[in-house]
Amino acid sequence: MSRSAAARADAAKIVADVALRGRSLDTALVIDSRATKQERGLIRALSYDSIRWYLRLDAMLDRLLARPGQKIDPDVRALAIVGLCQLLYTEIPEHAAVTETVEAARHLGHPRAAGFVNAVLRRCQREHAQLGEQIDRDVAVRTAHPRWLVDALNADWGEQAEAILAANNQRPPFWIRVNRRRTTGQQYRERLAASGIAVADSMHDDEALLLADALDVADLPGFAAGDVSIQDAAAQLGARLLAPRPGDRVLDACAAPGGKTGHLLELQPELAELVAVDVSPERLTRIADNLRRLGLSATLVAGDAGEPTGWWDGRPFERILLDVPCSATGVIRRHPDIKLLRRPEDVAALATKQLQLLRAAWALLAPGGRLVYASCSALQAETVRVVEAFEATGAKVREAAAAVRIAAGTAGMDGFYYACLEKTEGQ
């Protein structure tokens, strides 16, 4: 059996685990260490693209079945989805997509399904334009988003919703953050050019660089030495908006995996202390690893930011960055499984937790201090309305909250929301 067919079978297992068994893509995406670099790339690309377009591909599959509504083994159904994905969303030659995917049915242990997979893919080759016209009358199917999320984005973004839906289906851009304590943006640009790596765009005086193509971090000059990190340009705004000053005591709440922790320390080397808190001890190790690579240090605390009595020493913070757990609907292009796994009831539960976190963090902020509420949700229920509900509780916020609301795809950035809240003196 060809290694190419085996790679497609592996991708089908991953897709089935996510779409039909409810596992996260990060958890399901386990690739055999014996796979070649090319095979790993194929498995990863087919898994991500199949999940990204799953809701449309599944609607297409239903139209291609010889018997509508027929029951199909989950792995076989996922393999058919992977085959359709190759025909409709990749540049893989059609003959290879069909032949290798049919062969993959045997690798999955379903040799009798090979004929079914072949029939579905051959019919797709003949009829995909006509069938696509039929299913694409439904915007949710056409954009491969759940209906509830399409409705929510339309309600929250109006005419911008269609552009957000389109951006969610793009492969994510590759932004990097230059460590200003080690080099300048211009100097790092020159190192990239010398390595044959092209820059497509930049922000923040070349501190944020958008590479023309994604690549392995090991191929980035100075990555292992901490000269550069991977971080979307929208996520890089958090530390900048917090604007820590020399001598400030800073809290990075819900800090894992530590991208913003490192950025804060890079921006302001003269902090009195940076305390990074996360509820997961395991995730704290990722912060430690990132800081070690950058040559930086912080006080790492395992604790619930919403229940600070268990870890806070009573000393207030002049700056607090609160990056709340959320639906992550602003970063769907990086995590397409969100479209399949997230439910509308999750959003209400998250909003309740976000308000609790905001109120708890506010109590730790020194008078005159600044708190930045951050969320990678695209939904007002987790952003604008949480801040409004917080202000309605009587919190003494200096003037109105200065907010930054970024739609996914804007200037190549992820979807993000920031609200800068400053506590009045005398509180």
pLDDT of residue 69: 78
Name the band, by pLDDT with cuts 50, 70 and 90, for residue 66: confident
Measured between alpha carbons, how far is 47 from 340 in angstroms, rounded to an integer?
A: 13
Q: CA 423: distance to chain centroid?
A: 31
Cis geometry, peptide bond prior to residue 221 (ω within 30 degrees of 0): no
User: Which parts of 311-357 are beta strand (E)?
Assistant: 317-323
Name the band, by pLDDT with cuts 50, 70 and 90, for residue 374: very high
pLDDT of residue 426: 60
pLDDT of residue 190: 97
Biggest CA–CA distance in the chain, Å, is 75
pLDDT of residue 427: 56
Q: For residues 155 and 64, is the Cβ–Cβ distance under 8 A?
A: no
pLDDT of residue 394: 73
- Give catalytic residue positions: 376
Range in 46-50, 351-355, 401-405 with the lowest mean pLDDT = 401-405
Residues of the chain within CATH 1.10.940.10 domain(s) are: 3-144
| Percent of the chain with pLDDT strictly greater than 90 | 94
Share the mean pLDDT of the chain: 95
Name the band, by pLDDT with cuts 50, 70 and 90, for residue 399: low
CA angle, residues 144, 120, 13, in degrees to nearest 5 = 65
Q: What is the CA radius of gyration of the chain?
A: 24
Q: Give pLDDT tens digits for 210-227.
A: 999 999 999 999 999 999
DSSP 45-69: HHHHHHHHTHHHHHHHHHHH-SSTT
pLDDT of residue 424: 83
| Full-model pTM | 0.94
CATH number for the region 237-422 comes to 3.40.50.150
Per-residue pLDDT at 400 exceeds 60:
no
pLDDT of residue 393: 85
Mean pLDDT of 171-177: 97
Mean pLDDT of 97-112: 96
Q: CA 22: distance to chain centroid?
A: 17
Residues of the chain within CATH 3.40.50.150 domain(s) are: 237-422
Q: For residues 34 and 56, is the Cβ–Cβ distance under 8 A?
A: no
- C-alpha to C-alpha distances, 55 to 49, 62, 127, 261, 267, nearest whole angstrom: 11, 11, 18, 36, 42
pLDDT of residue 1: 61
Within a 10 A sphere around the Cβ of 213, how many other Cβ atoms? 9
pLDDT of residue 262: 98
Measured between alpha carbons, how far is 120 from 129 in angstroms, rounded to an integer?
A: 14
Q: Give pLDDT tens digits for 265-298.
A: 999 999 999 999 999 999 999 999 999 999 999 9
Per-residue pLDDT at 30 exceeds 60:
yes
Superfamily of domain 174-230: Sun protein; domain 3 (3.30.70.1170)
Q: Give pLDDT tens digits for 32-44.
A: 888 999 999 999 9
Per-residue pLDDT at 396 exceeds 80:
no
Residue 137, CB-side half-sphere exposure with 13 Å CA sphere: 5
Contacts of 135 (CB under 8 A, 6+ apart): 56, 59, 60, 63, 141, 142
DSSP 84-103: HHHHHHS-S-HHHHHHHHHH
Name the burial class of residue 183, with classes exposed (0-12), middle (13-18) and buried (19+) by CB atoms within 10 angstroms of its CB.
Answer: middle
Range in 62-71, 159-168, 301-310 with the lowest mean pLDDT = 62-71
Query: Helix, strand, or coil here: 300?
Result: strand
3-144 sits in which CATH class? mainly alpha
